[in-house]
Amino acid sequence: MINNDQKTMSCATEASANSVKIGIAITPEEKKEIYHFRYQIYVEEMSKHIEEVDYVNKLLYDELDKWAFLLYAKIGSELIATARINIGILADFPRKVIEFLSLDTFENYSTETGSHKFSYFSKLMVAPSHRSSSVLYLLMSECYEICCRNQTQFGFCLCNFHLLRLYEQMGFHSYSNNLVYPGYGLVTPMVLLADDIQHFRIVRSPLLRIARKKGVINTQAVGWFYEKVKKNSPKINSQLITEEELWFILCKSLNCPPMEAITLLSELSDVEAKKFLHSCGSYVQCTPGDIIISQGDFSYSYDILISGKLKSSTFHQPNKEYSLPGQHVGANGLTEHSKHTENIAAITSTQLLVLSGTVFPRFSHSNPEIANKIVKTINSITKNKVTNIKLV
């Protein structure tokens, strides 16, 4: 376990391009500011219901904070982002974290090669006004450097579906089944291999610049992961699949061109639809029982059923099912952050195409004509739904 006394005290670095300072919180005051920032993001903005919340003082913290690196990003005195890293051997982590991340699987590598430390990334969040900036990558770069200095081979996190593309672009791999993390909804366990330089290069990870400067590269850990964990994984990485490969999978699963099954694409040409889906989408696999959508949560994606069957457990429509390929499920989180009005779970093995509302603003900037068509179609769909509700 790495504790506060062992942490690097040169805890501030400057990013002169945008005057962002990345640092490590050391004093109680700095840590309290981070706990309050978390409260503002998770509770006040996102309306999440989390067990560890101190509602009286408006703070969010838990047992992992006692021995974590608490990173912050500031512009001047304004806190704009934060992240947390815990570094230790398997026995240092709470049992629930070990189970959620399937750390026992990676302990097998430690058993074969000697004791190793693991990194766990959590509580990563950025203020709304800076979510399209480079601050996320600056923060993650500092996290990666800390992991390298502490010689950890594997860094883990739990990721919501709408953020999969961002983490995959940084170099993370999905490696296990989804799970429901209390207060945070359905998440996917992901892992970053510190020395997977070839993968960083392929996905154009912003961490590649730092990784190339490492003096010693542990290819053994990388080889073990690909042979023992990744080899038989059915997960599709958004940064590795080509535009044509994704299109082929969708056509095969839908039994028709996506524009015919997915209303959102109705105004797009083949070329435009391919570009949009490949740039904003993640192809996600869910297992029976996965609670995909929770009533009252904000939506940050536009989810499309590709195959399988879903069931709504909403009070007014307890037996409603979704089984039509190409059907939109949940609230619109692509062009706005609406609240979900249903609880929706998978009742069979299910494939979803998750269009990220986090990625869409950047796509819109680069492809305004396609984005305008998407926005127009969503507005039309919303208008028709409202009309139908009134008629009923």
Provide the token pair at 132.
């399209």
- Please give the distance of CA 95 from its chain centroid, rounded to a whole number: 22
Please, are residues 35 and 59 in contact by the beta-carbon 8 Å criterion? yes
DSSP assignment string, 85-106: EEEE-GGGS-HHHHHHHTHHHH
DSSP assignment string, 253-306: HHTS-HHHH-GGGTTS-HHHHHHHHHHHEEEEEE-TT-EEE-TTPBP-EEEEEE
Provide the token pair at 57.
């003082």
Which residue's entry shows tokens 């990220």? 356
| Whole-number pLDDT of residue 68 | 97
Which pTM was predicted?
A: 0.89
Distance CA 304, CA 350 (A): 11
Averages of pLDDT over runs of 10 residues in the chain (392 residues) are 50 52 96 97 91 93 96 95 96 94 84 74 94 90 94 95 96 94 92 96 95 86 91 90 97 96 96 98 96 93 97 78 96 94 95 96 96 96 63 42
Domain locations in the chain? 4-230, 243-391
Domain 243-391 has CATH 3.30.360.10: no
Exposure string for 323-339, b = 16+ CB within 10 A, e = fewer: eebbebbbbbbbbebee
| Whole-number pLDDT of residue 114 | 58
Distance CA 174, CA 190 (A): 4
Please, are residues 210 and 189 in contact by the beta-carbon 8 Å criterion? no
- Long-range pairs for 94-103 at CB < 8 Å and ≥24 separation? 94/63, 94/64, 97/64, 100/158, 100/179, 100/181, 100/189, 101/156, 101/158, 101/176, 101/189, 102/175, 102/176, 102/189, 103/156
Cα-trace Rg, the chain: 21
Q: What is the dihedral of CA 195, 197, 200, 206, to 10 degrees?
A: 80
SS3 of 372, please? Answer: helix
Q: Which helix (H) or strand (E) holds 165?
A: helix 164-170
Please, are residues 334 and 302 in contact by the beta-carbon 8 Å criterion? yes
Q: Residue 210: exposed, middle, or buried by beta-carbon count in 10 A (0-12, 13-18, 19+)? A: middle
CATH class for domain 4-230? alpha beta
Please, are residues 262 and 13 in contact by the beta-carbon 8 Å criterion? no
Comparing CA positions, the residue from 330, 333, 351 lying closest to residue 341 is 330
The 8-class DSSP code of residue 74 comes to E
Beta strands 291-293; 344-346: pairing state: antiparallel
Comparing CA positions, the residue from 30, 99, 90 lying closest to residue 65 is 30
Neighbours of 120 (CB within 10 A): 24
Distance CA 288, CA 290 (A): 6
Is 4-230's fold the same as 243-391's? no
| Whole-number pLDDT of residue 231 | 85
Distance CA 328, CA 332 (A): 9
Please, are residues 264 and 381 in contact by the beta-carbon 8 Å criterion? yes
Provide the token pair at 182.
């209390």
